[in-house]
Structure 1
Amino acid sequence: MYPTHPFIDPVAISLGPISIHWYGLMYLVGFAGFWWVGRIHARKPWSPLKPEQVGDALFYGVIGLILGGRIGYVLFYNFGAWMADPLLIVRVWEGGMSFHGGLIGVLLASWLYGRKLGARFFQVTDFIAPLVAIGLGTGRIGNWINGELWGKPTDLPWAMVFPAADMLPRHPSQLYQAALEGLALFVILWLFSRHRRPVGAVSGLFLISYGVFRFLVEFVREPDAHIGYIAFGWLTMGQVLTAPMVLAGAAIMFWAYRQPSHP
């Protein structure tokens, strides 16, 4: 007998006309973790940010994440619906965020904030890379609470039934991603960045690690129903978008270690 995903009202708190969703709360937990751990991270002698500047970096990152994540979702995963309904892109409350679009938005925000700070682009991205993993983990927990983005059917003992899909036991792929893209990624990057590394090395390791984790989980995650598989009966849009991250990360790490060890 497999456990059934509990029905959890997506609205955590209702205050009159204002509804606060669990998914939004998970984002807030991720932002709070970014700020709190970031202030500790900023005490390292080689940090490009001072502890009091972490809040500003978070503000830039949040704007880039929301804009990039929404635009990326529409372009990568729901382009046809957007062409039929252009206002879809502004109706964020209906759900739909793309990690890859959010990443592009955060990178642009990092570039802008780096210019303001007088820091190099990769100095800023090296700093925020471990902190981003916190939000990735809490976001996947939000997916699990919502009972969405479930995995493929399986008979493994830790399978779970997601009634929103059907009554088949499935991989709880949201929890896999929370463990890998959140916890494991944070631990890897945090330990790696405990010592001074060549500029760009932490960013490269982030791209490689996230890319490998996401590519693997896609094998047990149900593809988006309106997209399905891109090719070969197994290749998903997530894998198509993620594979270049691994290559880019490897190239950045190669470049980083060809440079002087210290900026």
Structure 2
Amino acid sequence: MKTIVIANNKGGVGKTTVASQIAFYLGRAGYSVIAVDLDGQRNLTSAMGGTRVVGNALQMLEGGEAPSFFVDPGEVVLIEGDRDVPVSSDDTVLQGTVAALDGLEGADFCIVDTPPTFSALVYGALLTADFMLSPIELKRFSLDGVEGVLKAFVQVQEINEGIQFLGLLPSRFDAVKKNERETLLAVAESYSNLLVPHAIRNRVGYEAAEAEGIPVFEVPTASGKEAAAEFGAFFDWFIEAIEKEE
């Protein structure tokens, strides 16, 4: 099973949109998928409202043990979030997270959505991960956190030597705004080897998908179709990048 952790220490950068839609697109491609909501805000749980729930994040972390379940090919299942999931630097939290996520099995992919902090919970998730993907928003104060993202990855890689950084994914991108276009060019120049060659725009279609708890490719509006085509292009890149590292 390949585990991909979606992480950034800034909030509001579209982590949940990316995590939920990757899970849905993997399911449509025929893969079995476990989606894990480690954020106490439970946004992933809401964004995947129609998905079969197979466990609870708090119970899993406190027990340091993964729930037992089966996932059919093409099925996406959810370990739901819990508002009491701890965000701390406690070693017990880190150890419980590592033990619980390491124990997950029975699917082709595990997609983990995380809170906007590099706490013991997030470090624990990254220590079990095969890949890390970091959505970024193209606003100055959001970009201030990019160095923090890269520092966290380097720290994790010292222990989890097999983890790969998929890249910085421009998210909630507003192409109409000149400052965001200019920022994208600046990021491309500064982090040319780390920038994902796709951008997830700020589209109503994604909002509609999350509100209804469905994949964006099921949103029937024009914005939904545009978002589905856009995310589909990113997803093709994503699968190719994953397979290249095998």
Q: TM-score range by the shorter chain?
A: under 0.3
TM-score after normalising by structure 1:
0.25
* TM-score, structure 2 normalization: 0.26
Q: Which has the higher strand share?
A: 2
> Which structure has the higher relative contact order (CA within 8 Å, separation 6+)?
2
Which of these two proteins has the greater Rg computed from alpha carbons?
A: 1
